Amino acid sequence: MSLKKKDPEVFSLVEKELQRQKDTLDLIASENYAPEEVLEASGSVLTNKYSEGYPGKRYYAGNEFIDQIEILAIERASKLFGMPCANVQPHSGSSANFEAYRALMKEGDTFMGLKLDQGGHLTHGSPVNFSGQLYNIVSYGVDKDTEQLDYEAIMEQAKEVKPKMIVCGYTAYPRTVYFDRFREIADACGAYLLCDIAHIAGLIAGGAHMPAGPYADVITTTTHKSLRGPRGAIILAKEEHCKLINKGVFPGSQGGPLDHITAAKAVCFHNAMQPEFKEYASQIVKNAKALAEAIANQGFRLVSGGTDNHLLLVDVKSKGLDGKIAQNALENAGIICNRNTIPYDTEKPFVGSGIRLGTPAATTRGMKEQEMKIVAEMFSRALEDPEDEALHSRINSEVKELMGKFPIYGSP
């Protein structure tokens, strides 16, 4: 009520954004709807506190309850992902990667990550990012025919390159990541293994993807994607790396932690330990498979032929479109997703030949396999003619009606 009175302009924009979220179909693979208890913790009075340092070792007084909250978050994160050390202070996935790299590497050291245009993240060695500027990057790619990781080829490359670190875990890779294979590769060349599980953290927590904990030296993850928590990140590590990681986060890179977000992370980890979360994670994958099959049946080519996880990459070139045109047409039809490069793309990254679709948010709304068939049909129809405004407006109404049957935040 106070926001409405004190700043009606911002209030009204927040309300409009809420309505947009309710009325449209969110298929952005990295987005989700944080539950109300997570929003409540992140919007709490904890935002008022300064807590530089760690529980029991702060640079400010008054941290009795903040310490208890951070300890809870640490213990829960550690248990959830099966690693002895957890740092719950990183503000974002990029910060977490920056901090973990700095903890275990010196500037100029060599690391291997998947190419950005084949599914890797900016922080996995892109030349326009700190990762590609501070370190010597030798990227690996996916196989041109299967569009999947070729573990034998990566092993050969790693033995030759002898990197200090290998990064696995991706933003646009629709297949299982075999962390056990990456452990073998890292061991064969004496590298640290960093698993960036940001996209699949919820699947791992819910048992729908193999865990990274038994294999990784360090895990980084955001908490707001399939994990369905607040916007932020964490780092998990083997005991031997704990001190360096903690120093790398504070004072190495960040100042005060966001205590309200730490509390929301603790709530998110608690939720992810409940039996219902297993069902949620497994339904995300079932929905992605159903969506992939239905979209392929509409005549689209899927990168790697399908999906094992929460996302699929649709090659819209197979229908004579590019990613940018397709993304805009879909947005006009109320289907929110993002364009993406596909392996060995001939388009520039700003255009791309692919559309990335993910099911974590739609699954949170309660949608199941039968709705995925309806979604695939609407997706295909919206792309029949990217210029047809009347068509998109009709589909937009159909999407809104469907979303009304799967409300978020209590009402359509």
Chain residues in the site for ligand DSN (CB under 6 A): 30, 93, 121, 171
3-class secondary structure, 26: strand
Indicate the DSSP class of residue 123.
G
Three-state DSSP state, 162: coil
> Which of residues 93 and 323 has its CB atom nearest to ligand DSN in the complex?
93
Strand 85-87: give its sheet, edge to edge. Answer: 85-87, 233-237, 218-222, 192-196, 165-168, 110-112, 136-137
3-state secondary structure of 116: helix
Among residues 157 and 170, whose Cβ is nearest to ligand DSN? 170
Task: Tell me whether residue 58 or residue 121 sits nearer to ligand DSN (CB atom).
Answer: 121
Catalytic residues: 50, 52, 196, 222, 225, 231
Which lies closer to ligand DSN via its Cβ, residue 32 or residue 89?
Answer: 32
Report in angstroms how near the CB of residue 265 gets to ligand DSN at its nearest: 17
Alpha-helix runs per DSSP H in 82-200: 93-104, 130-134, 151-161, 179-189
Buried b (16+ CB within 10 A) or exposed e, 110-149: bbbbbbbbbbbbbbbbbeebebbebbebbbbbbeeeebbb
CA 327 – CA 336 distance, rounded (Å): 8
Beta-carbon-side half-sphere exposure of residue 130 (alpha carbons within 13 Å) = 9
CA gap 69, 264 in Å, rounded: 10
Distance CA 23, CA 1 (A): 23
We find the least distance from the C-beta atom of residue 172 to ligand DSN, in angstroms, to be 7
Question: Cβ of residue 145: shortest distance to ligand DSN, in angstroms?
Answer: 25
Minimum CB distance to ligand DSN smaller for 121 or for 339: 121
Nearer to ligand DSN, 30 or 87 (CB): 30
Q: Shortest Cβ contact with ligand DSN: which residue?
A: 30
Burial code of 183-221, b = ≥16 C-beta within 10 A, e = fewer?
A: bebbeebebbbbbbbbbbbbbbbbebbbbbbebbbbbbb
Which two tokens mark 136? 């010597």
Taking the least distance from each CB to ligand DSN, the nearer of 72 and 170 is 170
**Paired residues of 110 in beta bridges:** 136
| β-bridge mates for residue 302, sequence order | 314
Smallest gap, in angstroms, from Cβ of residue 213 to ligand DSN?
21
Q: How far is the CB of 394 from ligand DSN (least distance, A)?
A: 29
Query: What separation in angstroms does the CA of 233 have from each of 15, 64, 201, 254?
Result: 27, 23, 11, 13
Q: Kindly state the smallest distance separating residue 352's Cβ from ligand DSN, in Å.
A: 13
Residue pair 102/229 in contact (Cβ under 8 Å)? The answer is: no
Least separation, in Å, of the C-beta of 253 and ligand DSN? Answer: 17
DSSP secondary structure code for residue 148 in this structure:
S
